[in-house]
Every structure is written in structure tokens, then in C-alpha cells.
Structure 1
Amino acid sequence: MATTHKTRMLIIGSGPAGLSAAIYGARAGMEPIVVQGLQPGGQLTITTDVENYPGFREVIQGPWLMQEMQAQAEHVGTRMMWDTITSVDLTGGTFKAIGDGGDIYEGDTLVICTGAQAKWLGVPGEQELSGKGVSACATCDGFFYRGKKVVVIGGGNTAVEEALYLTNHSDDVTLIHRRDSLRCEKILEERLLANPKISVVWNKRVERFVAGEAGDLRALALIDTETGAESEIETDGAFVAIGHAPATELFKDKLAMDASGYLLVQSGTPKTDIPGVFAAGDVCDHTYRQAITAAGMGCMAALDAERYLAEKEFSGVTETVQG
């Protein structure tokens, strides 16, 4: 039998944004429900060393951090639901979400924290060496490659920005692109080509990631896209930078999005184009994509959700008195 779960604040997604929203919402007495989705804890659950989250002087583990955030959310009154949402109804005064088992979740407010996933190449060795030399976030992991040789794979804004960022840690950065020209903004291209720490390898695609004797990344096997010739480039770290895909399919034609599928919010707020529906974290942030910024946006969403309900309830009381 399908069950209906009701709450003042329904949260879809359980990464830093969703759990931060839950903590603030629970402390405000909103008794939030968090539907965890396919990847409970979000991308941090597949991140090993985390060194840039405030409050920890030593390196911490991503899965441990998310476990602690969930425990804190539950401690203050959040209900965690192991379910995956398959459809939503954002019409009417109550927002509804349907789980894959048929359960119905109803919220007076809705906070969307479904995140975004890095796009991967899908070649041999990529997933096996993830966290062992292969990464999709230079801001997250570049610090671990201080003074080492690194490569960035891609040719758009993301790749060029990652390569430029990595020069803060490495004097030997190589950008590998499968074409003979970049697809980034002109100003970024000029900065990249003028940087003496960066070299560009044109017309090459990555065939596979090669492990060394210790089991960490040793090199990249490349194929020339024009001649088919094979080559290899040794490196200590490789950053796949071919973009991200926001998890917004549920909200297509229901909420405003940009051309890449990220949810649109009012500038400086988590407010979507539907009152009472908020978005936080990577699902609406294609610029920063950090755990700390996602957590901050989750806090903002909970505070705005609380204000939205307070204003709605005050308006209802006023209308009743006047009537």
C-alpha cells in the first residue's frame, strides 16, 4: 500500500545543500522530510580526501562528512526517506512528489537539491583511478598536486578555467583537446595561451587512463584524432573537465531552466519562478559547485521557506479577520 507523507518542508536530495536545508528547517519546527534519491549524500560520498571544508584542520573523508551531516539533521528532527522521486506536481498550494514505489510526499514548501553530475569520458581506467589521480574538480583536488605535473581534458570554459586554476599549484599544466581550437570565451583563451605554465596538446583524445605499479595514475594513452597515431603522456593527476549535467529532468517544463538545464533562481536567492519552491546547490549553480556553497544555499532555502510559510499563514489570518 502506498503511503502519503506530509510535511511543511519537503527536500529532494541529500547532499550538503539538502541536509543543510534540513538542519535549518528542523530547527525552525518545520519537520522536514528529505527524500535521499539515487545517491544518498550526493557527490561527496564518492570523494575521498576533503581538505577545504571549514572546521577541520586535518583532511577528512567525504562519506564521513555526509554521515555526520545526516546524523545532525536527524538529531534535530528531520525524517530521512530512502526513496527516488519519479514525478512531481508543482501546481496547487501543496507540492507533491511521487516515489518509485508509489509513496506520495506532500510539502507546503519544496526545496530542490538534486545536484549535478560531472560528465565523464567513459574510457578504461577512468572510474578505477578516480581518487587515485583522476578527478573532475580542480578546485576540490588541485591542492593535492602541488609541484606536480597535471593535465586537464577538455576545450570549453570549464577546462580552461580548471587549467588556469591549477597553475596556482603546478608549474606544469597540460590541456588536452580533441580539436584544433578551443570552445571557450575569447578572454579565457587569451589568458590560457599567454600563461607560461600551460601547454596545449591539440587533436588528441584520451583512449585510456594508465595505472602505475602502485595503483595510482601514471599516464594517459592518447589517439591523434587526425592521423590515428597513438601516444602517451605521463602525469601525476588528470582532471576531466567536459562539463556537468544537472539532475533536473523531473522539472522539465515545470520550472524555468537555462539552456544547460540548470534551474533558474532569483539573483542572490534560492527562489525559483514558483512561489514556495526553492533550489539550492549544484542544481542551480554552474559556477562554484562546492560543498560549502551548496550548504550555504541550503541554509538560505530553509530560511526563505520559513519566511514564505509565515507570510502565507499571516495573509490567511488577515483575510479571515477581514472576512
Structure 2
Amino acid sequence: MTGSIRAQNSTFKKWLFNQKLKPFRVLSDNERSHTDKRISWRLGVNDDFFVNMAASLERSKWSRKDFIKSILIVKEWWDDEWNLIRQNIERINELVEMTLERLDDLDIIVARLIDEHGYEAFCNSEVFSWVSNVRKESSLVGAEFLRTRIAEVFSQKKNDELLEVEKKLTSGILCSYVSRANKSLSVLWYWLKHPKSSNFSPPAALVETITAIISTRRMPVLFSVLNLMADLVVRHPRWLNISSYIMLASGLNMLLEELRYDNRPNGTGIPDEVVPELRLGCLRLAKALQHIDSNEIKTVARMWIGQAISDPLPELRYFN
């Protein structure tokens, strides 16, 4: 990294840590204190802070103090609005979702702090007690801080929490509520990509769940699960057993017919508009599976890879 880029990253961080989270409630220009008046809430509040935070983390390594500063920014918002949110969540469903989104971002920050600097650094920090309290109180809106729990386990080398996390993720992935299912899949991505994930027993129930989603072609999370499975096969092939590969081969075989561009069978439950992206997901998984020592898997993988050569979509024809 050149001195110029390093200076730009430092400047960007200084600017970032001077930002504040936008309040959910509508405030007049001169209102900065809570009143007994009925509160108006704005929906879809922009959370640019977390977008910029992710960009900064990609560009430079954060110190322990950097993470603490970002958590304190979230704390300022929480201290200002949490009591009011708690009083209004029963009548405004969107407020629950907005709060959950923000707490999910907090979960990402805390987990990253533990991953980068260790559990002890977090435990001895000025924000530990506050985060612990938030984790307790925010259960009211369904926040679970699963990444933080995983990071704590991996940092302390104690796996007693992982089974409970696995249960919650399995339940979330199978949930018919798409937002919750996608959040659970995001946490599973974090788990399988974690550099210490291979040091612990594989999450067998989770692996079986996402394998079953592919073999049964369960919508609407199928595309996300195809991509996740492709990454899992490359990173943790030993997490899958013979039964897993048989189920994957069965699902990919069925999808060869169900994802045809012409004369698709009726009753698949797969909308026409998602066929191209699902074909791309199947191809990505087939590429990951082509070197697995299973004739059944190799056969269906070759079929998907062979089809892609003449696919009308360039994204599939030129997929590497």
C-alpha cells in the first residue's frame, strides 16, 4: 500500500468516525429532547454509515480503537431512541425491521472486533457492558447476535454455544419469512468462511438443511443456497457425506429439466423470471462439484457444464 493510499484511508476513517446514525423518529429543527407528544417515525432510514464502514474495512485494517469508535456511534443512537422504539414496536411493524437491520450491523462490527483482536480485547473494552446489555434487551425485537456468538466461540475455543447457534440458523433458513431466511444464510456464510471454522465439528444439521433445500428445489432461497453450497464444497468438502452428495446429484438432475428455457414442466413453483439466475447457481455448484470423487456427482456436473457452452446467456457461456 502506497503512502498516498494509506493517507486517503486514514482520512476516510477520520471522516467516518465523525458521522452519526440518523434517528428513526422525525425531529423538528429545535427538538432534541423526548416529549410526551406522539412520535412520528420515518421508514427506510438511510444507513450509509454501515455501508461506509464496510468500505473502510475493505480498504484498511482497523485497530481496536477504531472498532470501539464505531460501536460508540451505534451506542449514541441506541441511548437516544431505544426506549422510544420499545414503546412503539407493537403498533409499527416496520420499526422492528429497521431496528433489527441496525442491530445486525452492530453484530457484524462486534464479531469483526473479536476476530481481529480477540475476545479478551472485546471483554476488556469500554463497550463490553453496553453490548452485553443490548444483546439482552434487543431480544424484544428478535435480535440474536449470532455472528458475535460464533466469534466468541472461535476466539475462546469453546464450542458449547455452537449447537444452539446451529439450531437458530436452521430454524431461520427454513422460515417462510424471506428476510429472516436471508439473514440466517448471511450468518452461515460468515461461519463457513471463518478461518477457524475447520477447527470445530461441522454444523451437520445446517449442512443437511441446505442440501435438502437444493434436492427439493425449495424457493425462494434456492439461488442463495446454491451459491453457498458451491463455496462450502470448495472450502469444507469433508462437511458433506455420501448421502449429501447423492441428494445434491438428485436435485441438480431434477433442475436440468425444471430450468429448461423451453417447455418447462408445470407445477415446479419456480417463476420464469428466476430461471436464468438459478441456472447460473447450478453451474457454479456443478463447477465446484466436478472434482468430487463420485461418479453420480461427476455425471450431473458434466451435464451442467456441457449445457453452459451453448447457453444463450453470455454469463453462463463464459463462466469460469
Fold equivalence (TM over 0.5): no
TM-score by length of 2: 0.28
**Greater fraction of residues in strand:** 1
Higher relative contact order (CA 8 A, sep 6+): 1
TM-score by length of 1: 0.28
